[in-house]
């Protein structure tokens, strides 16, 4: 079993479309490197344009990702176009059943 993660990305002004495209290729990119499992990933958008992604790292792969120059390059692209935000900052997190709009991956 791997490690399930949930991450939220807030696009910087004018980068909504670029962030969406990056998210759509994120898990396939990591999968090609053998870092994530074949479990289907999920992506969804919140009321304020934040994109939430759920996926599963292979066991021990998070550490490996931090040492991989290809992954570091990908993370630099994310840093240029979005901010990572804690889930508790999502307006939906205040609801008992947080609702999001699905994103087709």
- The pLDDT assigned to 1 comes to 81
Q: Which helix (H) or strand (E) holds 82?
A: strand 82-85
Residues of the chain with pLDDT under 70: none
Specify whether the CB–CB gap between 92 and 47 falls below 8 A: yes
Residue-range domain boundaries for the chain? 3-102
Specify whether the CB–CB gap between 50 and 4 falls below 8 A: no
In sign, the C-alpha dihedral spanning 73, 78, 80, 85 is negative
- The pLDDT assigned to 9 comes to 98
Domain 3-102 has CATH 3.30.70.100: yes
pTM given for the model: 0.93
């Amino acid at each position: 079993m791997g490690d399930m993660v949930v991450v939220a990305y807030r696009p910087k002004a004018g980068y909504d479309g670029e962030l969406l495209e990056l998210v759509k290729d994120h898990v396939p990119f990591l999968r090609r490197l053998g870092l994530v499992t074949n479990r289907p990933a999920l992506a969804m958008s919140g009321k304020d344009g934040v994109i939430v992604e759920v996926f599963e790292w292979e066991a021990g792969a998070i550490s490996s990702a931090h040492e991989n120059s290809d992954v570091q390059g990908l993370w630099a692209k994310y840093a240029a176009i979005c901010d990572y935000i804690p889930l508790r900052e999502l307006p939906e997190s205040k609801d008992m059943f947080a609702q999001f709009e699905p994103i087709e991956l």
